[in-house]
Structures are given as C-alpha cells and as structure tokens.
C-alpha cells in the first residue's frame, strides 16, 4: 500500500464531532467516601488548571512560557516531551525551579531528543530526566503505578486527574506495548477526567511534516476509554474536533464555527487530540490540511490550527477541570506569551452513558 493510501485509510478511521466541546466517555467506579461496591465517578479538585506544553528548549522562550504558566495560575504542568535539546536534565529542571518553584507539580513524557538521558542511571554528567521527575513526584507525594520509569511508561493520579504517560519506542511499541499498558491503566478506572500523554504523532494527527511514528492503537485505545490525547513533536498548536469511532467516516458539523461555544451531542467513547508544541524551541508551518483558515482541509477534523503560517508564537494550552461546581465540565484555551488567547473551547463528560459502558467493561475484564 502506498504512503498516501495508508494516510487516507488512517484519516478515514477518524470521526469528528463538535468543534469546541468534546463528550468524553468515562469509566465509573468507586467514588470517594463510598464503599467499593458503590459505583460512581471520581472528580478532580474544583477548578483544577493544567498547562500543556512541549518542544520547549531551555532558553528565553521556555522561560517566558513558564512565566505565562505561573501568571495564569496553573496548578500543574504536563510536558509532552523534547525538553532542552541538550541532554542537560539538571539545567532544564533548574529553570523550572527558578520560575515555578522546586516542588511545583511537573509531569512529562519522554521525547525523541530526551531518550539518551532519560533512564534513571543514564550516567550523563548533567543528570537524568527520569531521576529528576521521580524525585519531584516523591516530594509532592505522588505515587507511581510502578517505580521503574526506564520503560518510559508510568501512570499517576494528581488531585483527581488520571494521567498515563507512554514513550518514544515508535509505531511497533505503540501497538504492542503502549496500547495494552494504557488499556490496563484505564479500562476500569473511576476518574472522570483522564489524559493520555506522549510525544510523537501519526501523520494524520498533526498538520506539519511528521510521519507515522506512534501507531494507531494508542490513539484508539485512549479514545475508546474516554481519555484526552495530549501530544507535541510538531512545533505548533492544533486540536481536532471530537473523535468518535475511528473506523468510520462520519462528520458532525453541528458547530461549524470554532469561535462559538457549543456542546457536541453524541455517543459515549468520544475524545479529542491536540498537539501543543510551542513550549519555546521554534515554530513550524502548516503543511497539511490547507487552507490556513477555518474551515480547514483534509476531512474537516481540525477545530483550530495555529502555526507560523497563522503567525504563531510560543504559548501553552490550559484546561480547567471541574468548572463552576460541575465535575463533568471543563474549559480550555490556548494563550501565547504576548497575552493573546487564540483558541477557546468547552468540554463536557457524558457520565450516564459511560456508567453503563464501564459496567460492561468490568464484567468482561473480570472473566477468567
């Protein structure tokens, strides 16, 4: 099969729904304060604000993004990989500490430029990324699902937010190793909001020049289990509309204007994918899915594209969970270091439908 045919097939497996609100299916389980037999969702802390960045470098751009993160009042940073491009873990985390503080919650996925200095005993004279991350998590009382980070996979819960990180092993690892790990972590998870984080992309899931580097199984697994999919690698910001069944080709254009706030109605199992790679290193152009203004090309899957073609500069995506006393609501926005908000959207979890789905999942996974 030709490369173009493979890409066309991959895109045909995507379903795109509402532009600014994703109904994300959740897997329900024991709620806080209830006995294990009582099903119920676990919410995040009220108004929990998360900053998503990637491809940061360790220069003035990165520092300004961290200062933006601080000024916006973010409670936690999720970095989607490619840290300082210099294998200087000590210097990278020193910058973070100087702006956000030594104990600020900071979680990260390994990027392709981080691999050689990732392992806890990497023997790099400037330190090892996994060792710094592990020490930081220990200081803030976060418990890892497995203390060994050398496999580039780990899962944590922070203030009611479920986070699953996988690595840089490529498409084969994505299909054979990472996807089963994600499913094991999320299949019966009780948290309302779940996030899958990794660095690289499939070509159809970015608008630059990147190739297929993760495999489709990781995307489909996270989507099926109702997790937001956070990536970087391509140095720009863009997010899809809602993703439903990737194996079909149906477009719900009920919210065609990306500047409106609207709610997508549909079946459980929805999610969306974003690339937030404007952390401070460089800015790349839009090569795919032209034109450069909404509505974009390809199959209409993109809700917002912000690259050098649109005059982009560095910034971060912020998502606030459990908004206005509603644990099923969240609000997101991308803000650049000049103070401009270039994207704004709302998210809503479809809890009732997901509860029925979770019980079915639990009954299947409990079979011998």
The alpha carbons of the chain give a radius of gyration, in whole angstroms, of 19
Which pLDDT score is estimated for 180? 98
Angle between helices 60-71 and 89-100 (to 10 degrees): 30
SS (H, E, C) 254-307: CCCCCCCCCCCCCCCCCECEEEECCCCCCCCCCCCCCCCCCCCCCCCCEEEEEC
The pLDDT of residue 351: 57
Are residues 128 and 121 in contact, defined by beta-carbon separation less than 8 angstroms? yes
The number of beta carbons lying within 10 Å of the beta carbon of residue 121 is 9
Whether residue 80 has a cis bond before it, omega within 30° of 0: no
Do residues 330 and 321 lie in contact, with contact meaning Cβ atoms separated by under 8 Å? yes
Distance CA 278, CA 187 (A): 32
**Torsions phi, psi of 207, nearest 5?**
-115, 15
Residue in the structure block whose two tokens are 């108004």: 47
Q: How many CB atoms lie within 10 A of CB 172?
A: 10
In the predicted model, residues of the chain with pLDDT beneath 50 are: 1-39, 245-269, 353-368
Cα separation, 58 vs 113, in Å, equals 13
What residue segments make up the domains of the chain, in order of their start?
Answer: 3-365
Residue 167 · residue 151 · CB < 8 Å:
yes
Q: Is the dihedral of CA 273, 52, 92, 106 positive or negative?
A: negative
CA quadruple 71, 313, 273, 202: dihedral, nearest 10:
-140
What local confidence, expressed as pLDDT, does residue 255 receive?
45
Task: Report angle CA 11, 17, 18 to the nearest 5 degrees.
Answer: 140
CATH 3.40.50.2300 fits 3-365, yes or no: no
What does the block give as tokens for 36? 């294990």
pLDDT at residue 54, rounded to an integer: 98
- pLDDT tens column, 93-112: 999 999 999 999 999 999 99
- Give the closest residue to 158 by CA, choosing from 119, 202, 191: 191
Q: Using alpha carbons, list the distances in angstroms from residue 209 to 179, 205, 284, 286.
A: 24, 11, 9, 8
For 142, the token pair is 């976060």
In the sheet with 273-276, reading across from the earlier edge strand, the strands are 154-158, 161-165, 194-197, 228-231, 273-276, 237-240, 302-306
- At 24, give phi and psi (nearest 5°): -110, 120
The helices-and-strands tally (H runs, E runs) of the chain is 8, 16
Phi then psi for residue 231, to 5 deg, are: -135, 175
What pLDDT does 271 receive? 85
Q: Is the peptide bond before 291 cis (omega within 30 degrees of 0)?
A: yes
Q: Report the candidate in 115, 209, 236 with the shortest Cα–Cα distance to residue 168.
A: 115
Q: How many residues does the chain have?
A: 368
Q: What is the rounded CA–CA span in Å between residue 358 and residue 308?
A: 42
- Among residues 193, 164, 185, which one has the least CA distance to residue 349? 193
CA 17 to chain centroid: 18
- pLDDT at position 352 is 54
């Amino acid at each position: 099969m030709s490369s173009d045919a493979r890409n066309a097939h991959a895109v045909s497996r995507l379903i795109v729904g509402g532009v600014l609100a994703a109904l994300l299916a959740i897997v329900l389980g024991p709620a806080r304060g209830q006995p294990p037999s009582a099903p119920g969702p676990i919410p995040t802390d009220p108004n929990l604000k998360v900053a998503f960045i990637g491809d940061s470098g360790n220069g003035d751009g990165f520092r300004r993004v961290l200062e933006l993160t601080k000024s916006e009042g973010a409670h936690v940073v999720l970095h989607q990989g490619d840290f300082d491009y210099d294998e200087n873990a000590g210097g990278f985390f020193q910058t973070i500490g100087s702006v956000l503080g030594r104990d600020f919650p900071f979680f990260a996925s390994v990027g392709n430029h981080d691999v050689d200095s990732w392992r806890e005993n990497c023997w790099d004279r400037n330190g090892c990324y996994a060792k710094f991350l592990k020490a930081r998590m220990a200081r803030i009382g976060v418990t890892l699902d497995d203390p060994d980070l050398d496999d580039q996979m780990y899962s944590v819960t922070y203030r009611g937010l479920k986070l699953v990180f996988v690595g840089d092993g490529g498409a084969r690892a994505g299909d054979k190793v990472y996807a089963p790990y994600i499913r094991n972590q999320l299949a019966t998870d009780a948290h309302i909001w779940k996030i899958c984080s990794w660095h690289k992309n499939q070509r159809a899931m970015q608008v630059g020049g990147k190739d297929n580097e993760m495999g489709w199984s990781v995307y489909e697994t996270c989507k099926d289990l109702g997790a937001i999919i956070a990536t970087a690698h391509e140095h720009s910001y863009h997010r899809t509309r809602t993703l439903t069944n990737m194996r079909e080709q149906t477009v719900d254009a009920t919210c065609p204007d990306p500047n409106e706030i609207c709610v997508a109605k549909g079946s459980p199992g929805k999610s969306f994918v974003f690339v937030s790679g404007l952390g401070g290193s460089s800015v790349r152009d839009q090569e795919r899915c032209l034109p450069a203004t909404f509505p974009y090309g390809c199959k209409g899957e993109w809700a917002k594209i912000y690259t050098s073609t649109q005059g982009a500069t560095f910034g971060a995506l912020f998502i606030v969970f459990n908004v206005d006393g509603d644990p099923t609501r969240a609000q997101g926005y991308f803000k650049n270091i000049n103070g401009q908000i270039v994207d704004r959207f709302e998210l809503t979890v479809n809890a009732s439908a997901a509860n029925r789905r979770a019980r079915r999942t639990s009954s299947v996974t409990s079979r011998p």
